[in-house]
Amino acid sequence: MTGAAASSPEGLTTGMVVVFGVTAVALALFVSSRIRIDVSAVLVMVLLILLEPWTRITPELGLSGFANPATLTVLAMFVLSEGVRRTGVIRAVGRKLIQLTGDDESKQLAATIGLAGPLAGFVNNTPVVAILMPMVVDIAERTKTSPSRLLIPLSYAAMLGGMLTVIGTSTNILASDISGRLLGRPFTMFEFTALGALVLVTGGAYLLTVGRHLIPERIRPGEGPEELFALADYLGEVKVGEESALAGLPVNEIGRETGLDVTVLRIVRGDRELRGILGNRRVRAGDSLLVRANSGTLAELLEVDGVTAPEAGNPPLPPRSRGDGTAHEGDETEEATPLRLVEVVVLPDTSLTDRTLEQLRFRQRYGGSVLGIRRRGRLVDRKLSEVALQGGDALLIEADPDTVERLATDRNLILGQDVDRPDYRTSRVVPALAIVAAVVSLAALGVLPIVIAALAGMVAMVLTGCLDASEVYEAVDWNVIFLLAGVIPLGIALERSGGAAFLAELLIPLADVVPVLLFAGAFYMITAILTEVLTNVASLVLMAPIAVDIAGRVGGDPFSFLLLVTFAASCSLMTPVGYQTNLMIFDAGGYRFSDFLRVGVPLQILLAVVTSVGIAVIWGF
């Protein structure tokens, strides 16, 4: 490699400039997140088609991403993963394994890594983390361990485990398609399993040793959701006097009448408690109101005529209870049921994201009251009903058992504690696992292409009763599908316009003056950094054709360089926003942005070395 002659890049063409311009638009949209990332991808696809004379992307080629084998394989794998999840087998294995760890943090950490990593090689890593996270938090609480110590390892292990097989991540599947298109040889099922195992073992060893000492204990053992959400700053109790301006007002007019941003959560009237949907309830003199407000607003509320703080010696609010949740004017006694505070995490890019609690009719949909929202470690300090939810948001909810069950079974949310899930189809465990094994075997043995085997497995999941037909559509993360379909033409445009070759030429001088392993490690880190600010799919699409061109121009092995980019794009370890599993555990672990830098940067540098050396030894550059 070092013997290759350096050459200056050829001049820019108009086509290259146009494609680079579209790429810049894509980067700006992905980084800013002003538009949903899947919508941004479709916009990029449309731009490439409209600019066909320069991008060379015809309508047929632009739309080909929707029929691309990678897109269809990812779609089918979502369904297969959901079929396995619905049986409860992952949860059962997780419970059994974690039970064996006792209160030994080292064993808990090893069990978490040892379970999440291998599972993610065959089941999409998002449901793996979604299923295991409540169990990890639960075992941490019961054994007085900080969940902060276990959740980053859970996310990292699931990401690294995805590199065990070609179906482990959507990035691998797309990389296989790119390899087939550019090199004439898609990845086989276990093409890079040896390297993936090396990466997983290296990452696991790091997390059990050096990384363990770098992960902070952000949540103290035994600390509940009330402390995490600083509930005292957000909830307050006020008494409505005989001459109060609030007496006689419906609850939903209190904010307008006082000009204050307060939400009434429940009314205590004598020895009874009124809650549920309180909008039309009229406040009476003598009522005690539990309100949500920041401390300044609460102080202003106490300045309203006839509104006072509870007098010393007054009986406390009665035990939390909840009625049937229907709005009515009468004073019928509502049947009391026990309530508790639970924390849920909003999954990224779901039907809940980018919509407010009010738009979602969250309370009517689930039956619980949202008392607080944490976003990337910070409490949201404005009217909660008007906050547009984002992926990774943690919600503190006051809920009864029925509501907890609804939250636990909703695919848009992760309940932050382990609960029984009666909807699991335990009788379908054997068929579901057999279908996944058949898909892997048929693809590995070359009997069927991966896409055909996966689609056949998807149909089999329905025919065997592992999934209902309607659940197939719910199982698919359509944001990922549209993202894939939208960015695939961008990679093609970079190739056809000569843009990839132009960028490769710019890097060749560096390849001539540094050793091959050092160059490979640097190229790995460039891709890894791009993954943090874009997405794993977008960074792969941008870097893959450049990697293949560089290899061709310096006499290296294009397959090895493409594999290097694939591993770098699939491991987003340095920030909480680079990959959705990091977002999922961010608030549940009470982490700060800097925690991922502290733990992830050394690990990413270590993996750059291990991956480069591993590829050099197994395939050669």
Q: Of 286, 308, 330, which residue sits at a domain end? A: 308
Residue 460: inside a domain, yes or no? yes
What pLDDT does residue 330 have?
41
Least trusted range by pLDDT, from 201-215, 336-350, 595-609: 336-350
179 and 267 in a common domain: no
Q: What is the pLDDT of residue 521?
A: 93
Residue 335 lies in a domain: no
pLDDT digits (tens, 9 = 90+) for 362-384: 888 887 778 788 888 787 877 67
Q: Which residues pair with 379 in a beta bridge?
A: 374
> Does a structural domain hold residue 420?
no
- My answer on whether 434 and 408 are in the same domain is no
pLDDT at 100 over 50: yes
pLDDT at position 143 is 83
| Ramachandran bin of 398, using left for φ above 0, alpha for ψ from -120 to 50, beta for the remaining angles | beta
Question: How much is the pLDDT for 242?
Answer: 84
**Residue 422 falls inside a structural domain:** no
pLDDT in tens, 44-73: 999 999 999 999 999 999 999 999 999 999
- Do both 231 and 213 map to the same domain? no
Q: Which whole number is the average pLDDT over 288-311?
A: 80
Spatial contact of 127 and 82, defined as CB atoms under 8 Å apart? yes
Q: Looking at residue 320, what is its pLDDT?
A: 45
> Is 5 contained in some domain?
no
Q: Are residues 159 and 300 in the same domain?
A: no
CATH classification of the domain holding 235: 3.30.70.1450
Mean pLDDT computed over 22-44: 88
pLDDT in tens, 142-200: 888 899 999 999 999 999 999 999 999 999 999 999 999 999 999 999 999 999 999 99
Whether residue 271 sits in one domain with residue 187: no
Please tell me whether residues 516 and 594 are part of one structural domain. yes
Residue 397: domain span: 341-415
Provide the β-strand partners of residue 454.
none
How many domains does the chain fold into?
A: 4
Task: Judge if 83 and 219 occupy the same domain.
Answer: yes
Average pLDDT over residues 502-512: 83
Q: Which of 361, 383, 415 is the last residue of a domain?
A: 415
DSSP 300-332: HHTTSTTEEPPPTTPPPPPPP--------SS-P
pLDDT at 316: 43
Give the amino acid at 107. K
**193 and 106 within one domain:** yes
Q: How far apart are CA 18 and CA 52, in angstroms?
A: 10
Query: Is there a single domain that holds both residue 213 and residue 239?
Result: no
Question: 3 — phi, psi (to 5°)?
Answer: -85, -5
27 lies in the same domain as 123:
no
Mean pLDDT of the chain: 86
Residue 325 has pLDDT above 70, yes or no: no
Kindly state whether residue 329 falls inside one of the protein's structural domains: no
Record the tokens describing residue 270, joined without a space: 């004598």
Same domain, 233 and 216: no
Confidence of residue 224 (pLDDT cuts 50, 70, 90): low
Q: Is residue 330 part of a domain?
A: no
- pLDDT tens for 563-584 read 999 999 999 999 998 888 998 8
| SS3 label, residue 52 | helix
pLDDT in tens, 334-357: 445 566 778 899 988 788 888 898
In a domain, 611, yes or no: yes
Residues 83 and 175 in one domain: yes
